[in-house]
């Protein structure tokens, strides 16, 4: 026991300084896309043809990216004109589905809750996580938030086992037919008022499974979503940033 305590003392304090200090992300991290409209020639459309998930839209007015569909695969970067690149900006969460359409305007990051909702959840938020047919990538990165590096609990945010103890649900996965009823039952079991968070491309728009008859293509048409967190999967800092913005802690 003494040896264990001595080793733990050597390791020191491991919790990150976020949000007071910006995180250090690896060079290969793909964050918010950067669209250089001035470099895009009219009627080119090569980037749109390269996107396997129909996230890139090329029109006469310029190039746009639907972050709700984007899997951040990087296939669109084949553009010979260098129109699209990926930055290391992890801040991606928005309050509305429409705000995820990136074009000539800057991304409208998630605004804080207002009034009674902020008073209720601003200092303590309990979430029930629902995996509605996901591949477990989003779920794994959400679990990471509970480690000592991120320490989600220091912000008053916790995941709970029962929807009856929850203030909201955080949904991952494209919502398969087999999970649709369970998701809706979980939502109904939560006491009002309640929040809904869509995490990952699958939960937002179906991801690579959006055209499958076995899925509903995300939760936007099933439940009133309060926060959209894009990515495949969203980086833990992307999720944490979105939650803190929702609670007016950023």
| 122-152 pLDDT per residue, tens | 999 999 999 999 899 999 999 999 998 999 9
Least confident of 33-42, 89-98, 241-250: 33-42
Confirm if 64 and 12 have CB atoms less than 8 A apart: no
Nearest to 133 by CA among 82, 175, 102, 184: 175
| 153-194 pLDDT per residue, tens | 999 999 999 999 999 999 999 999 999 999 999 999 999 999
Confirm if 101 and 69 have CB atoms less than 8 A apart: no
Burial-class residue 106 by CB neighbours within 10 Å (0-12, 13-18, 19+). Answer: exposed
**Does residue 214 carry a pLDDT above 70?**
yes
Q: Which two tokens stand for residue 48?
A: 């749109």
Q: Which two tokens stand for residue 130?
A: 């629902």
Q: Is residue 25 part of a domain?
A: no
**Does residue 115 carry a pLDDT above 70?**
yes
Domain tally for the chain? 1
- Supply the range of the domain harboring residue 235: 115-246
| 14-64 pLDDT per residue, tens | 888 999 999 999 999 999 999 887 777 676 766 667 788 888 887 767 788
- What is residue 231's predicted lDDT score, i.e. its pLDDT? 96
Q: How far apart are CA 170 and CA 12, in angstroms?
A: 32
Q: Is residue 227 part of a domain?
A: yes
Nearest to 134 by CA among 234, 226, 244: 234
pTM score, two decimals? 0.92
Q: Is residue 71 part of a domain?
A: no
Of the chain, the end-to-end C-alpha distance in Å amounts to 40
Comparing 97 with 54, the larger pLDDT belongs to 97
Q: How far apart are CA 91 and CA 235, in angstroms?
A: 10
Q: Is residue 110 part of a domain?
A: no
Torsion, Cα 33 65 99 136, to 10 degrees, reads -80
Q: Is residue 124 part of a domain?
A: yes
Comparing 63 with 236, the larger pLDDT belongs to 236
Q: Is residue 205 part of a domain?
A: yes
Q: Is residue 24 part of a domain?
A: no
- What is residue 114's predicted lDDT score, i.e. its pLDDT? 94
Q: How far apart are CA 94 and CA 110, in angstroms?
A: 4
Q: What residues contact 21, with CB distance under 8 A and at least 6 apart? A: none
Question: What CATH number does residue 146 fall under?
Answer: 3.40.50.12280
Q: Is residue 182 part of a domain?
A: yes
104 strand-pairing partners: none
Comparing 5 with 176, the larger pLDDT belongs to 176
Question: What mean pLDDT value characterizes the chain?
Answer: 91
């Amino acid at each position: 026991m003494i040896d264990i305590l001595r080793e733990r003392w050597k390791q020191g304090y491991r919790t990150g300084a976020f949000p007071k200090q910006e995180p250090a992300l690896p060079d290969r991290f793909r964050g918010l896309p950067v669209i250089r409209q001035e470099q895009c020639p009219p009627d080119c459309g090569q980037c749109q043809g390269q996107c396997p998930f129909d996230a890139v839209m090329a029109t006469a007015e310029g190039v746009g990216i639907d972050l709700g569909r984007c899997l951040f695969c990087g296939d669109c970067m084949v553009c010979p004109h260098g129109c699209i690149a990926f930055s290391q900006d992890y801040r991606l969460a928005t309050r509305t589905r429409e705000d995820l359409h990136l074009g000539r305007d800057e991304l409208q990051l998630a605004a804080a809750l207002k009034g009674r909702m902020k008073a209720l959840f601003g200092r303590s938020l309990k979430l029930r996580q629902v995996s509605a047919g996901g591949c477990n990538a989003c779920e794994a990165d959400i679990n990471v938030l509970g480690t000592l590096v991120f320490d989600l609990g220091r912000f008053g945010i916790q995941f709970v086992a029962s929807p009856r103890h929850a203030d909201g649900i955080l949904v991952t996965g494209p919502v398969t037919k087999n999970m649709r009823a369970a998701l809706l039952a979980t939502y109904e079991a939560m006491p009002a008022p309640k929040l809904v968070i869509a995490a990952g491309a699958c939960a937002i728009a179906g991801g690579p499974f959006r055209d499958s008859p076995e899925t509903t293509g995300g939760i936007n048409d099933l439940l009133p979503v309060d926060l959209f967190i894009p990515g495949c999967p969203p980086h833990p800092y992307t999720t944490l940033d979105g939650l803190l913005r929702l609670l007016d802690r950023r």
